């Protein structure tokens, strides 16, 4: 059984401490536990990096080994053509996920390069969006 990849971009290692009024108080370790619980028997490759290069390498790994991708690219959502190019190579479903509703934030957060290739986009559910995304991805893979 191929794993689902849950990929997290820059500053998400600071969840629970960083701007809790926007991102809540749930830590990334708690998010990982929620994802693994939601996935049940399906393996989860859960990663966070502050490096664009490493995030792209993780997408490449998912291209070769993964069934689906849930990605919260954080700031790279709005800046990285390289990430877009990497995600274009993935044949399976991709869910773009954001903890906050990026469309209610400053205009710089309104244009996502990742949305150009994402199968689905989720925003504004807080950390609770992660297990919802896992369940949605599993349902899509089963269909």
Active centre residues (catalytic): 23, 98
Is 85 annotated in some ligand binding site? yes
Is 100 annotated in some ligand binding site? yes
The secondary structure of residue 11, as a DSSP letter, is T
Is 13 annotated in some ligand binding site? no
Is 51 annotated in some ligand binding site? no
Chain center to CA of 38: 15
Q: Record the tokens describing residue 81, joined without a space.
A: 């053509």
Residue 124, phi-psi category: left (phi > 0), alpha (psi -120 to 50), beta (remainder): left
- Residues in binding site for substrate: 72, 85, 99-100
- Residues in binding site: 72, 85, 99-100
């Amino acid at each position: 059984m191929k794993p689902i990849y849950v990929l997290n971009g820059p500053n998400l290692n600071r969840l629970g401490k960083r701007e809790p009024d926007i991102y809540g108080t749930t830590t990334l370790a708690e998010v990982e536990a929620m994802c693994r619980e939601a996935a049940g028997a399906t393996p989860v490759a859960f990663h966070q990096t502050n490096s664009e290069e490493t995030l792209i390498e993780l997408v490449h790994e998912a291209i070769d080994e993964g069934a689906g991708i849930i990605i919260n690219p954080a700031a790279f959502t709005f800046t990285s053509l390289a990430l877009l190019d990497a995600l274009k190579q993935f044949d399976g479903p991709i869910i773009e996920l954001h903890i906050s509703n990026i469309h209610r934030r400053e205009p710089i957060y309104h244009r996502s390069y990742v949305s150009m290739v994402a199968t689905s986009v989720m925003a504004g559910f807080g950390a609770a969006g992660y297990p919802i995304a896992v369940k949605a991805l599993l349902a899509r893979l089963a269909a």
